[in-house]
Amino acid sequence: MESAQRIGALGGLIIGGILVPLTFIANVETVRSWCFWACWMPFAYILGAVITMFTAKLGLYDDVRRGPRWWQIFPNVPARPRRFLIVSGVVVIGASILLILPWSSPLWLEIVLELAICVAGAFGLIGTWHLLFGARGIFRRSS
């Protein structure tokens, strides 16, 4: 579980750090094209394998099988920051999809969606801080 969280955090930070500036440098149409994704997917797969090689910890099969049998999202984050992360993820993804859709929406709806993204982003930053650097965070110091 801890290895998967580290892999996901590092992979997401690296891929997001590459894609966000690329979206502004290139066009949004370039990022939406199938040629871009045909080149990007093998790169992301290889990058994931390299990150896994450096961050994953091996576990014995029996120890892994004895672990929790249910799926938990962000189990190392306290309850309130976990809710912040989940709500901000849902709001940002939902509002972004509504803003990207091609039909024209009224100006007030776009302003409300952008404000919702800003507020959810602030809550997401609080949750991300606890996820990465909190008491049980992914990048905490080993004692």
**Residue 28 backbone dihedrals phi, psi, to 5 degrees:** -65, -35
For residues 54 and 2, state if they share a domain.
yes
For residues 14 and 28, state if they share a domain.
yes
What residues contact 52, with CB distance under 8 A and at least 6 apart?
A: 3, 7
Structural domain count, the chain = 2
Query: What is the tens place of the pLDDT at every residue in 47-94?
Result: 777 777 776 666 676 766 666 655 566 777 788 888 888 888 888 888
For residues 56 and 23, state if they share a domain.
yes
For residues 81 and 45, state if they share a domain.
no
Distance CA 79, CA 56 (A): 26
Query: What is the tens place of the pLDDT at every residue in 113-126?
Result: 888 888 888 888 88
pTM over 0.75? The answer is no
Range of the domain at 104: 72-143
For residues 41 and 85, state if they share a domain.
no
For residues 59 and 77, state if they share a domain.
no
For residues 59 and 76, state if they share a domain.
no
pLDDT surpassing 70 at residue 102: no
For residues 17 and 61, state if they share a domain.
yes
For residues 80 and 62, state if they share a domain.
no
Final residue of a structural domain among 22, 40, 68: 68
For residues 47 and 114, state if they share a domain.
no
Distance CA 131, CA 6 (A): 10
Instruction: Report which secondary-structure segment, H or E, holds 95.
Output: helix 79-100
